[in-house]
Amino acid sequence: MPSERVIKVGILGATGTVGQRFIVLLSNNPRFEIHTLGASDRSAGRLYPHAANWKLSEKLPNNVTTLHVKRCVPEDFVGCDIIFSEKSFMEANFPVFSNAKNYRMYDTVPLVIPTANPEHFAVVGQQRKEFNLNRGFIITNSNCSVTGTAVVLKALQLSFGPIKKAMVTTMQAISGAGYPGVASLDIMDNVVPFIGGEEEKIEKELAKILGAVSSDNLTIQSDSQLVVSASCNRVPVIDGHTSSVSIEFASDEKPSIDQIKVCLSEYRTMAQQLGCHSAPEQAIIVFEEEDRPQPRLDRMKDNGMAVSIGRIRECPMLDFKFTILIHNTILGAAGASILNAEIAAETGLI
Amino acid sequence: MPSERVIKVGILGATGTVGQRFIVLLSNNPRFEIHTLGASDRSAGRLYPHAANWKLSEKLPNNVTTLHVKRCVPEDFVGCDIIFSEKSFMEANFPVFSNAKNYRMYDTVPLVIPTANPEHFAVVGQQRKEFNLNRGFIITNSNCSVTGTAVVLKALQLSFGPIKKAMVTTMQAISGAGYPGVASLDIMDNVVPFIGGEEEKIEKELAKILGAVSSDNLTIQSDSQLVVSASCNRVPVIDGHTSSVSIEFASDEKPSIDQIKVCLSEYRTMAQQLGCHSAPEQAIIVFEEEDRPQPRLDRMKDNGMAVSIGRIRECPMLDFKFTILIHNTILGAAGASILNAEIAAETGLI
Amino acid sequence: MPSERVIKVGILGATGTVGQRFIVLLSNNPRFEIHTLGASDRSAGRLYPHAANWKLSEKLPNNVTTLHVKRCVPEDFVGCDIIFSEKSFMEANFPVFSNAKNYRMYDTVPLVIPTANPEHFAVVGQQRKEFNLNRGFIITNSNCSVTGTAVVLKALQLSFGPIKKAMVTTMQAISGAGYPGVASLDIMDNVVPFIGGEEEKIEKELAKILGAVSSDNLTIQSDSQLVVSASCNRVPVIDGHTSSVSIEFASDEKPSIDQIKVCLSEYRTMAQQLGCHSAPEQAIIVFEEEDRPQPRLDRMKDNGMAVSIGRIRECPMLDFKFTILIHNTILGAAGASILNAEIAAETGLI
Amino acid sequence: MPSERVIKVGILGATGTVGQRFIVLLSNNPRFEIHTLGASDRSAGRLYPHAANWKLSEKLPNNVTTLHVKRCVPEDFVGCDIIFSEKSFMEANFPVFSNAKNYRMYDTVPLVIPTANPEHFAVVGQQRKEFNLNRGFIITNSNCSVTGTAVVLKALQLSFGPIKKAMVTTMQAISGAGYPGVASLDIMDNVVPFIGGEEEKIEKELAKILGAVSSDNLTIQSDSQLVVSASCNRVPVIDGHTSSVSIEFASDEKPSIDQIKVCLSEYRTMAQQLGCHSAPEQAIIVFEEEDRPQPRLDRMKDNGMAVSIGRIRECPMLDFKFTILIHNTILGAAGASILNAEIAAETGLI
């Protein structure tokens, strides 16, 4: 695809929390232009500002104030080059970038965090064959709670070989539950030590993201050596998932803490090499302060597209432990889909 | 000591957060009577209600409204049978129950959580010999962040043998930092992934609490097999420390989840057998709900003296994982000191 | 009614936030015994602990753990002496004490805050005539946001004559909206300057509560001279409505600030004179500290049944201004209904 | 002064909360360049990033990372064209723009909110005469709690004549108290109904800002007809002061609500006419939604330099009431000083 053509975008679930974030993130994108917004039948036909209960502190971008919401059916999205989020649009031959959980673990569906494993796009050819498509496909991004850990572990894996064990305890923001989501009576002055299905997602998705594409590009093989144990908690934080993580490398030759810091700081990804608009300046930001990263101070680093890490230290039980932070509705959701699409555009998939 | 005699109590640091909690907890105690309140030289000489910036929602008990604050020197505490908290009062031959960190790791100083290891009182005789005391001694209680895990692990250890590994990630309340403590700008809409010295305390104190008194009652031997890795976080919660914990038993014969639940629910401790006033009805409360315990809802269980545990499940890496909650200024501080003193009184140490 | 008979209570909406509060407040009541709990058809037939999503930090009282929830129809409440909350039970000849808004402004329905205007019960005779009842009636209590101001203004009115103007700005707790109520994304780090219908309720209900029963006991006449202006805000507080209030007396002879403090501190009400179990020790607690009352510290004063007031000072525009605090789900809801019922029982209405 | 010259800026108190905000706001300013940063003697001599405990979520701007902090004495600020904040720099002949309270009420010191009353700069000539200065002067900006109300009332006054009465109840953010400022134990799940000195400041400063410069430009005359009554509360909000305000016009001819909305929406100020870099696009933004403005959603409108107003409605007691919101550390502090300085630069005062 000629790199200069404007790409027309359709967004499903456009009135929800993640949909609103998509709209803000795309408002200044030089390459992507919002063409169609879809939502529930109840919203269809109404002007977007009337249909959406706008909950972001960022202003509603001008370019959507005059758009009418459409139904989420392929015939209402004719003219869109790509579709953001879920459903049966792939089968209607649209390129789909999905933040939904449904297809993530399917063998020929890439589960891609753009600053971790975009090489998994390689199975799209096989996927098209299976579904008999020439233009459409589906690329998913991961659950927000796994995103930060996946990027860090991928960077470490590239430099120091496979990870054998990862113990992950999350402290997740309320915006991860959408709107209205978490009741204030449930979370003020409180911690909720359970988020349905989340621990299982971390344990499975992490293995797939750190896995490899088979040499014939036919399938993605999850990392079967990796043992992951996750404990997920909701805390009274608006945006930003923080995790305490301990890991063990498979190899007996362990890197030093300084080597780890250098590896993470210097980590460069395909998204940056391609010069994608939404790529973070640094995929991983390493903090030296003993009490960072913190969600309120650090979640917007590099426009919410960077992973922040700090407190890298030895673990008395495994090899190393540290604190990881990401912005759950940007790199953890809408931002990942958008950067995946930018990579796909730059590499000719669209 | 005849079990009916009223025991006169002196409280050091009486105007601080933990001191205030002591006063509330002792207000209805049938055995202990507040005799002297000590605080900084700045406060000494003033009426307690004027000297203290009362920060608890419980009413200031009537019995202290007319007390004048004293200096924290032994001569101002003549007539007290026991002293709560820290310092050189032990050397002045007072029985001291200390919530301060200073002496906790000393070999002949019991580090006791009353519902975990009161049998460690056995080294008090040796301690008196060393310091040449007939009546005085010092018994410490643990850091608030280790309390819940220690009680649970002690109960498991008694039934299923030694624990080999424990991975502990805490989400700690702001009241643990005293007053003024944590600035609101640091914690609102935020997580602070660092509490100075706390992780080291968990790693060391847990081993001592789970350790054994030598057969000659001369010293306490920390559990040298136990590997503990702790990650401590401050979250926007007023009272109640929540921890995500994973453990591995030393033995190859693992209990079932049901056996663990029965063991914890049926755990009875010396404090209860002695009928101590401040003993919880149940030392450990096991929750079956998938999203409990939660600090706001469960921290006051059994007047803040119980440990709550829930989400007991298998861990993909170690053996089991679960969520533990305690009230950090009651069982985690003032309440532990008081119940330690009640046990000491009932067993003739005072 | 012989003052010793136990009174059997039915509670409608028993699984909701206010219903849960009723159950806790009645758990130790010497006179009232919970007989029947009603809720939606979805809950009917289930054991109460299974039907209710218990959200209070107080333990679920033992006496309701074995009760099955009934439908909210009169035939399911046979045997109840009184009914708490709403609906058509009055027409079925039950004494009803309602926290719902529906009948509050009806001329022969008392709108009573028990520590403000229980003398309004006098119109119950006329109400029974109108509805052709011998035993049933309905007595309502006010919206939670008006409660504190009404009690204070009633006490002032009794001593210093009519109030001419009241400007009320509220800062209301999230529990006032029930469960799930306010979404956490709407209130964390935020103020919502609007609560639907609330300002109108304050303006109308205050005038009725401060009004008089006609000399023939046929009707309640709202205070038509009183001008009230209310602005209602929701703030991130769990329990406790705080209000900044300015008032002007009708009379040109103004009391001094000291006279106001004495008047409020010494205010005694029928509920106390009758020795009702749920009556506060002091109906109004006057604070001298410059930064009190505060919801977290003071909402539970006298078991949540007292009104707290502080910062009584001159107003540059009207006569005086001050800060008022009440517990919105206790004195502001369930507690008011219960104390109304106790007064009714003691005065022979039941 | 030629409008193209870069103006060198010195900032006092540069490590504090407001100082940090100055640095962020000036980082992209085309006209002003940070030349010298001053702080306490303890910080002097250190690199700024080491001396400051950076608490903003915005990144520390590159241009200050290599600056060393100076002492706050005039001789360390040689070369600066203007000084931001307080003290004796005016007497050393520097133009000073001060956010401190000390000189605000002095007759020949302008107390200026840049989008309200920049015409008060007219007394600077007389001030220079009094202090025998040729280049220096001091211009102050108001307390953050009065800013929003002052801008709105000034706009209304210009269109509809004098305001006679204003009743102001504030709900103020924690960042207004600086760092560490409010203890988290004091404000979580709480409202503090007192902020020392704040109510008096609102009552006095509002009258001065709405006052007039005498026709000979010798002094500023406070509006002596205006009666203001303020009640100040601290609420658990990070940034953004919200106020419930009721007002009465002096004239008997009242505008309609629609006229008020048009007046406020169309309000244009000198800062905008001069094309100042930091001027808001709209000085006052009028909301039609019934539950806006809200601090979390609206405080950053026009980069924190706009005043937001909503819920404009009739007041049963005075004429009209509404909700006002401003960003307390931007338009309420650092932003006001900067925009004052820009106006001064454009109008030749510097």
Per-residue pLDDT 10s for chain B (350 aa) are: 445 678 898 998 889 888 898 999 898 888 899 999 999 899 999 999 999 988 888 889 988 999 999 998 888 988 889 888 765 677 777 888 888 888 899 999 999 999 999 999 999 999 999 989 988 889 999 999 999 999 999 999 999 999 999 999 999 999 999 888 999 999 999 999 999 999 999 999 999 999 999 999 999 999 999 999 999 999 999 999 999 999 999 999 999 999 999 999 999 999 999 999 999 999 999 999 999 999 999 999 999 999 999 999 999 999 999 999 999 999 999 899 999 999 998 998 98
Confidence of residue C86 (pLDDT cuts 50, 70, 90): low
Tell me how far the alpha carbon of residue B320 is from its chain's centroid.
Answer: 25
Q: How far is residue A210's CA from residue A337's CA, in Å, rounded to a whole number?
A: 18
Structural domains counted in chain B: 2
CB atoms within 10 A of CB C4: 7
- Amino acid B170 reads T
Structure tokens at A102: 């449904």
A: neighbours with 3+ CB pairs under 8 Å? B, C, D
> Does B177 share its domain with B313?
yes
Across the interface, which of D169, D191, D228 has its CB nearest the CB of C237? D191
> Does D35 share its domain with D116?
yes
Q: What is the pLDDT of residues A260-280, one digit of tens each?
A: 999 999 999 999 999 999 999
Query: Is residue B2 situated within a structural domain?
Result: no
Query: Is residue A224 situated within a structural domain?
Result: yes
Q: What is the pLDDT of residues C282-294, one digit of tens each?
A: 999 999 999 999 9
Q: How far is residue D317's CA from residue B107's CA, in Å, rounded to a whole number?
A: 73
Q: Is D53's Cβ below 8 Å from some Cβ in B?
A: no
> Does B35 share its domain with B51?
yes
CB A232 within 8 A of CB A170: yes
| Residue A109: closest CA among A222, A32, A271, A276 | A222
Q: Name residues 239-258 of chain D within 8 A of C (Cβ).
A: 242, 244, 246
> Does D111 share its domain with D180?
no
> Does A319 share its domain with A219?
yes
Q: How far is residue D125's CA from residue B154's CA, in Å, rounded to a whole number?
A: 79
Across the interface, which of B57, B188, B301 has its CB nearest the CB of C296? B57
CATH number at residue A102: 3.40.50.720
Q: Say if the Cβ atoms of A188 and C181 lie within 8 Å.
A: no
Q: Is A297's Cβ below 8 Å from some Cβ in C?
A: no
Q: What is the pLDDT of residues A55-103, one digit of tens each?
A: 888 889 988 999 999 998 888 988 888 888 765 677 777 888 888 888 8
Query: Is residue D2 situated within a structural domain?
Result: no
> Does B304 share its domain with B339?
no
> Does A178 share its domain with A285?
yes
Query: Is residue A29 situated within a structural domain?
Result: yes
A53, A54, A172, A184: which to substitute to probe chain C, counting the most C Cβ within 10 Å?
A184
Q: What is the pLDDT of residues A172-225, one digit of tens each?
A: 999 999 888 999 999 999 999 999 999 999 999 999 999 999 999 999 999 999
> Does D181 share its domain with D96?
no
Q: How far is residue D39's CA from residue D69's CA, in Å, rounded to a whole number?
A: 6
> Does D98 share its domain with D215?
no
Single out the catalytic residue among C72, C80, C144, C263.
Answer: C144
Q: Any idea which of A260-264, B292-296, C33-37, D81-85 has the lowest mean pLDDT? A: D81-85
Specify the pLDDT at position C102. 81
Q: Which domain holds residue D19?
A: 7-143+334-347
> Does B14 share its domain with B113?
yes
Determine whether B241 is an active site residue.
yes
Q: Which residues of A touch B227 (CB under 8 A)?
A: 316-317
Query: Is residue A126 situated within a structural domain?
Result: yes
Greatest mean pLDDT range, A103-107, B18-22, C210-214: C210-214
Model-level pTM?
0.91
> Does B200 share its domain with B115?
no
- Amino acid A265 reads S
Query: Is residue B154 situated within a structural domain?
Result: yes
CB atoms within 10 A of CB A134: 7
Confidence of residue A229 (pLDDT cuts 50, 70, 90): very high
Query: Is residue D1 situated within a structural domain?
Result: no
CATH number at residue A180: 3.30.360.10
> Does D138 share its domain with D169?
no
| Residue A272: closest CA among A151, A139, A104, A124 | A151
Specify the pLDDT at position D2. 40
Query: Is residue C2 situated within a structural domain?
Result: no
Question: Does the pLDDT value for residue D80 go beyond 70?
Answer: yes
Which residues of D are catalytically annotated? 144, 241
